[in-house]
Amino acid sequence: MPHFVIMGCGRVGATLAHTLEDAGHSVAIIDQDDRAFRRLRTGFAGRKVTGVGFDRETLKQADIEQAYAFAAVSSGDNSNVLATRVARETFHVEHVVARIYDPGRAEIYQRLGIPTVAAVRWSADQVLRRILPEATINGDFREPSGRLILTEVALHPGWIGRHVLDVEKAAGARVAYLTRFGEGMLPSGDTSYQQGDTVHVMLPVARSSEISRILATAPVKESA
């Protein structure tokens, strides 16, 4: 059962904690004010840790070393980004996301390789898509027959520097657009996947799990 660590028990953090627990996942939530845990429903079975979310010992109490993903959704941009970097760089948590209030800083954070969700356009789905094992919750768009869905997919770091056309060929799906530095862009034939990019793919619903597995692994090296 995947374990998730959340920093910040405000409205956003509590919503995430409840959603993840309802999906059957193990959850730990961190806040420096233990009164914040009152936002959690009665019967919440996850771990509640009082402390600073970027403190290593606090993170260890939240079982960060076993975490599948980490979400920093407190009210402070700097704290969220710092905590996310500690989770990734010190504890090697692969799936991380930081909530930010200042979209102007998005480019800086993306260059650090930290996926961000701007508070001004925040939704729970945007955070969950970046940390859940599944590629998506509902997808961005589903065409009327229900056979095709436009959704975000997670790419293995080995795809960095590879052309979008390589991604399409391996997955058997169409890259509709990329989000880079907080802005959408239509890929051309020579567009390469960069660290921090969010990739939005139109794919057959029936192959969604297969395509997610393909892109979550490193691309096959071409023989000489």
| pLDDT at residue 207, rounded to an integer | 85
Q: Is the pLDDT of residue 124 over 90?
A: no
Mean pLDDT on 28-53: 95
pLDDT digits (tens, 9 = 90+) for 172-185: 999 999 988 777 88
| pLDDT at residue 4, rounded to an integer | 96
pLDDT bracket for residue 224 (50, 70, 90): very low
pLDDT bracket for residue 43 (50, 70, 90): very high
Question: Under a CB-based contact definition with an 8 Å cutoff, are residues 207 and 172 in contact?
Answer: yes
Q: From residue 83, how far is each of 3, 22, 120, 137, 201 by CA, in Å?
A: 17, 25, 21, 25, 30
Instruction: Enter the pTM of the model.
Output: 0.60
Helix/strand/coil for 72? strand
pLDDT digits (tens, 9 = 90+) for 133-184: 554 445 567 666 667 888 888 888 889 899 999 999 999 999 999 988 777 8
Q: Poorest-confidence range of 2-11, 19-28, 56-65, 177-186?
A: 177-186
Higher confidence at residue 113 or residue 155?
155
